[in-house]
């Protein structure tokens, strides 16, 4: 398979396994789609998607592992985020990404001075392969308990790399907490991108202060998502509306996300160690990301509603 074909296949998977085969009539996945501008930031549907998934190699290219704030560390690739939450009683990993990335995540964990085997709990952002395909391998290597929101369980069960069953040790529900070693994460159902798309919140401490952290599952309306007359998910537009309502209710000092582009990781990483304030403390950045994603959702919805009306 050529690099271009492999990347195209990865884009199709990233565009949403839960919505496979549901591309809007009249547009292939490579069309630009509607355009939005929010506070000087302009995106088409396609460019916003590509901001997240990056180029052909970004999903598998390691990014320097680093401390974000408090007990939260980055251990993912250039365009697929994975976070290590360190506690005295073992660690929590959020997102295994693709199975082929698990050795990269393990190396990043070890470069930070931690043991991969100390991962006790594995969580995820949403049931798409680019975020949770590697769950079985991580469990095999660490024995970690795999936990997932109830609404994403069917899609996860169907995710079987190499024929391996997808492990799920505990089914969670909206608002449920996961606690280890004095750190508590709360699962917030923010559906639409997947049925059980999960935005995680937690508090962390640094410099004698407490900060609210939000790890965005995804609010993205990817190319190919069908928001109108969706037979498989008739209420998908209502699910997105719920996600944005929840997103705006969350307190956030430190925004993170399942793709580094959601929180401008590379630019913030470049500022680490320069003597200024922690660049990852960015409440305005969280509000901007939610505004961008909601504006795109509403633009795509309006376009599809117009097309559906014209086709009657």
233 is written with which tokens? 């998910």
* DSSP E strands, 11-166: 35-38, 41-44, 66-69, 72-74, 83-87, 90-94, 119-123, 145-149
pLDDT band at 15 (very low <50, low <70, confident <90, very high): very low
Cα–Cα distance measured from residue 207 to residue 277, given in angstroms and rounded to the nearest whole number: 11
pLDDT of residue 71: 98
pLDDT: which is higher, 37 or 11: 37
Residues in the chain: 312
* Structure confidence by residue, pLDDT tens digits, 226-262: 999 999 999 999 999 999 999 999 999 999 999 999 9
What is the residue-averaged pLDDT of the chain? 92
* Structure confidence by residue, pLDDT tens digits, 18-45: 443 333 333 345 789 999 999 999 999 9
Please compute the mean of the pLDDT values over residues 6-17 and round it to a whole number: 46
Q: Is the pLDDT of residue 78 over 60?
A: yes
Nearest to 213 by CA among 73, 48, 64: 73
Please compute the mean of the pLDDT values over residues 75-81 and round it to a whole number: 98
pLDDT of residue 29: 58
pTM: 0.93
Nearest to 36 by CA among 291, 310, 305: 291
Burial of 186 per CB tally in 10 Å (0-12, 13-18, 19+): middle
First-residue to last-residue Cα distance in the chain = 41
Q: If you ran DSSP here, which 8-state letter would residue 30 be given?
A: T
pLDDT band at 193 (very low <50, low <70, confident <90, very high): very high
What share of residues in the chain are helix, strand, coil (percent, to 5)? 35, 25, 40
Q: Each residue of 242-274: b (16+ CB within 10 Å) or e?
A: ebbebbeebebbbbbbbbbbbbbbeebbeeeee
Q: Is the pLDDT of residue 159 over 80?
A: yes
pLDDT of residue 31: 87
Contact predicate 132/95, CB 8 Å: yes
* Structure confidence by residue, pLDDT tens digits, 92-145: 999 999 999 999 999 999 999 999 999 999 999 999 999 999 999 999 999 999
Burial of 66 per CB tally in 10 Å (0-12, 13-18, 19+): middle
Q: Is the pLDDT of residue 219 over 80?
A: yes
Nearest to 89 by CA among 181, 12, 6, 212: 181
pLDDT band at 161 (very low <50, low <70, confident <90, very high): very high
Which domains does the chain show, CATH number per domain?
Answer: 32-54+61-310 (3.60.15.10)
pLDDT of residue 311: 75
pLDDT of residue 4: 43
């Amino acid at each position: 398979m050529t690099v271009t074909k492999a990347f195209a296949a990865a884009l199709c998977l990233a565009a949403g396994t839960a919505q496979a085969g549901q591309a809007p009539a009249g547009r292939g996945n490579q069309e630009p789609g509607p355009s939005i501008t929010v506070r000087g930031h302009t995106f088409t549907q396609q460019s916003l998607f590509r901001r997240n998934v990056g180029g052909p190699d970004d999903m598998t290219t390691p990014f320097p592992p680093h401390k974000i704030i408090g007990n939260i560390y980055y251990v993912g690739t250039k365009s697929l985020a994975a976070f290590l939450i360190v506690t005295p009683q073992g660690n929590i990993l959020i997102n295994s990404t693709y199975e082929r990335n698990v050795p990269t995540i393990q190396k990043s964990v070890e470069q930070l001075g931690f043991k991969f085997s100390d991962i006790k709990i594995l969580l995820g952002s949403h049931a798409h392969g680019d975020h949770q395909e590697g769950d079985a391998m991580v469990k095999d290597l660490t024995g970690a308990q795999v936990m997932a929101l109830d609404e994403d369980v069917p899609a996860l069960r169907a995710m079987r790399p190499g024929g391996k069953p997808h492990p799920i040790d505990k089914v969670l529900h909206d608002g449920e907490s996961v606690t280890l070693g004095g750190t508590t994460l709360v699962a917030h159902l923010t559906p639409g991108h997947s049925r059980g798309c999960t935005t995680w919140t937690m508090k962390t401490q640094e410099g004698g202060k407490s900060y609210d952290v939000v790890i965005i599952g995804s609010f993205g309306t990817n190319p190919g998502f069908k928001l109108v007359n969706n037979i498989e998910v008739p209420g998908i537009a209502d699910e997105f509306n719920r996600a944005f309502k929840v997103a705006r209710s969350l307190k956030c000092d430190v925004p993170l996300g399942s793709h580094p582009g959601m929180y401008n990781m590379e630019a913030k990483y470049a500022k680490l160690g320069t003597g200024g304030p922690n660049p990852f403390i960015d409440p305005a950045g969280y509000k901007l990301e939610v505004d961008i994603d909601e504006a795109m959702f509403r633009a795509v919805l309006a376009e599809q509603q117009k097309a559906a009306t014209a086709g009657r």
